[in-house]
């Protein structure tokens, strides 16, 4: 009987465990994100006010355990290259506090043709790039198993990045 109980305990403790679900409520965005364009027009910086709803402090010291993906109306992109899209770290959010965090995203724009007017360049550039299809970003923190949904920034769909 003891061998049966011991065997049952060993089997129970070694059985495969279900993966932990992504926590979508631990870190949430408060308010509408702000968007800024750097002078060269190739970098966009989105400001998010992140609120830690948990009872423990939250810290990101490195982006190694993060996967950042673009959210579209009905899908997600694959993980974005962290050389072009990255969360500025470190990020420290005390329990039940709100902190501003910055997401940088670089865009590749067409090279301006010699003698091309501003209007013609913007028209050609806007035809090549349309951020209106992006519904926001999602950060997956693999260490804490947090899913942080970053909504679309406040901007008219007709506005495009300017060089």
Query: pLDDT per residue over 129-150, tens digit each?
Result: 556 678 889 999 999 999 999 9
Tens of pLDDT, residues 94-132 = 999 999 999 988 765 566 678 877 777 666 666 655 566
pTM, to two decimals: 0.72
Query: Which residues share a beta bridge with 72?
Result: 75
DSSP 23: B
Tell me what pLDDT residue 4 has. Answer: 81
So what's the pLDDT on residue 108?
Answer: 59
The pLDDT of residue 130: 57
Q: What domains can be seen in the chain, in order of their start residue?
A: 21-151 (2.60.40)
Beta bridge partners of 127: none
pLDDT value for 126: 61
Instruction: Please give the pLDDT value at position 161.
Output: 44
Structure tokens given for 114: 């010699």
Top mean-pLDDT range of 64-78, 99-113, 149-163: 64-78
Residues in the chain: 163
Cα gap 159→132, rounded to integer Å: 9
Contact 87, 61 (CB under 8 A): no
Per-residue pLDDT of 25-49, as tens digits, reads: 999 999 989 887 766 666 778 899 9
User: Do 63 and 129 form a contact (C-beta atoms < 8 A)?
Assistant: no
Q: Which residue has the higher pLDDT, 153 or 22?
A: 22
Q: Buried b vs exposed e over 134-154: b needs ≥16 C-beta within 10 Å? A: ebbbbbbbeebebbbebebbe
């Amino acid at each position: 009987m003891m061998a049966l109980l011991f065997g049952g305990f060993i089997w129970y403790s070694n059985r495969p465990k279900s993966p932990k679900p992504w926590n979508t409520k631990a870190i949430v965005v408060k308010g509408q994100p702000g968007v800024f364009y750097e002078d060269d027009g190739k970098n966009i910086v989105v400001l998010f006010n992140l609120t830690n709803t948990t009872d423990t402090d939250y810290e990101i010291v490195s982006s190694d355990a993060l996967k950042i993906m673009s959210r579209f109306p009905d899908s997600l992109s694959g993980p974005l290259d962290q050389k072009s899209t990255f969360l500025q770290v470190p990020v420290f959010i005390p329990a039940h506090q709100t902190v501003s965090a910055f997401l940088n995203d670089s865009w590749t724009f067409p090279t301006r043709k010699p003698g091309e007017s501003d209007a013609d360049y913007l028209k050609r550039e806007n035809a090549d790039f349309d951020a209106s299809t992006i519904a926001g970003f999602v950060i997956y923190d693999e260490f804490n198993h947090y899913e942080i949904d970053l909504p679309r920034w406040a901007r008219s769909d007709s506005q495009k990045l300017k060089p």
